[in-house]
Amino acid sequence: RIVYVNGAYVPEEEAKVSVFDRGFLMADGVYEVTSVLGGKLLDFAGHARRLDRSLRELGMEMPMSEADLLAIHRELVARNDVVDGMVYLQITRGNPGDRDFAFPPAGTPLTVVLFTQSKPGLADNPQAKTGLRVISIEDIRWGRRDIKTVQLLYPSMGKMMAKKAGVDDAWFVEDGFVTEGTSNNAYIVSGGKIITRNLGSDILHGITRAAVLRFAAEAQMEVEERPFTLAEAHAADEAFITSASAFVMPVVELDGQKIGAGAPGPVAKRLREIYLDESR
Ligand code: PDD
């Protein structure tokens, strides 16, 4: 596989980042995941905009223009023959030479890394037919979940708690309200309404979320952006998640109890269809 590191395209075995890099020492960095379907990047502009925001919120700046970033994405997709899969991008605060809590001086070059992952048949994931089973776990992440940082330890632990419980994923819960999934946004459907948490610093502003809510509105579906409780989720007619890599994925079980009929619901199925149709 050919990867991109600080201006160069190199075989993955030859790619190098310093041990002093603040991404490595302090998780001081941000990332984006952009899906590729049929060789085409999905919603690149949305991901680039969020990247710009994440960087600014942490006192960094886009190290190149959006057009140059797009060119690197396309180059990697082409060089690695990615048909279905994703492009991962990570920007960290670079290598100041010594470990120090204070940020390095302005002008210290950021570390920019991109690589691809192929996932043939990404859009035909059989889990879309069966639905996901999730558990709820306490949301003990930091308070700026709107910034897409590489601090993914607790989400990884959440995923492992789910695995240990024999299910697919976990939903984070704070003060009785669902925030989001370990790596996706969470939704329920109740009384014909699609309910998902409103944007704030307590969830990531999903690019897929924005697209799906737009498609839902265009299809005259009713959407309510507000926090929902775990009890509401248990009583819901259906549930689903969205993310760049999962698109729209039904959720059929929560903490061992079926949601609705315990099978993918019509709203989730329809939104998945619309999203994939519009993306291809
Ligand atoms: N995760 N919430 C969290 C905590 C996430 O990590 C993600 C994305 C989302 C959905 O955002 P988007 O629709 O822009 O992908 C919501 C990516 C896919 C990941 O970490 O691999």
Tokens standing for 176?
């009785």
| Contact between 161 and 137 (Cβ < 8 Å) | yes
Exposure on the CB side of residue 160, measured as CA atoms within 13 A: 6
Measured distance CA(247)–CA(209) in Å, rounded: 9
Question: How large is the ipTM?
Answer: 0.99
Instruction: Please tell me the residue having the least CA distance from ligand 1 atom 9.
Output: 184
Q: Which of 16, 119, 129, 148 is catalytic?
A: 148
pLDDT 10s digits, 48-63: 999 999 999 999 999 9
Q: Could you please state the CATH topology (level 3) that the domain comprising 127-279 is classified under.
A: D-amino Acid Aminotransferase; Chain A, domain 2 (3.20.10)
Cβ–Cβ under 8 Å, residues 15 and 6: no
The domain locations on the chain are 2-120, 127-279
Q: Which of 178, 156, 278, 154 is nearest to 235 (CA)?
A: 178
The sign of the torsion formed by the CA atoms of 33, 37, 39, 41 equals: negative
Tell me how far apart the alpha carbons of residues 62 and 40 are, in angstroms, rounded to a whole number: 23
Same fold, 2-120 and 127-279: no
Instruction: Mark whether 159 is an active-site residue.
Output: no
Structure tokens given for 163 = 């695995």
Question: Into which CATH architecture does domain 2-120 fall?
Answer: 2-Layer Sandwich (3.30)
- For the entire predicted model, the pTM comes to 0.97
| 129: three-class secondary structure by DSSP | helix
Percent of the chain at pLDDT exceeding 70: 100
**CA-CA distance, 34 to 78, in Å (whole number)?**
15
Choose which residue among 147, 171, 204 to substitute to test ligand 1 binding: the one with the highest number of ligand atoms within 8 A of its C-beta. Answer: 204
What pLDDT, in 10s, does the model give residues 142-162?
999 999 999 999 999 999 999
The span from the CA of 176 to the CA of 163, in Å, is 23
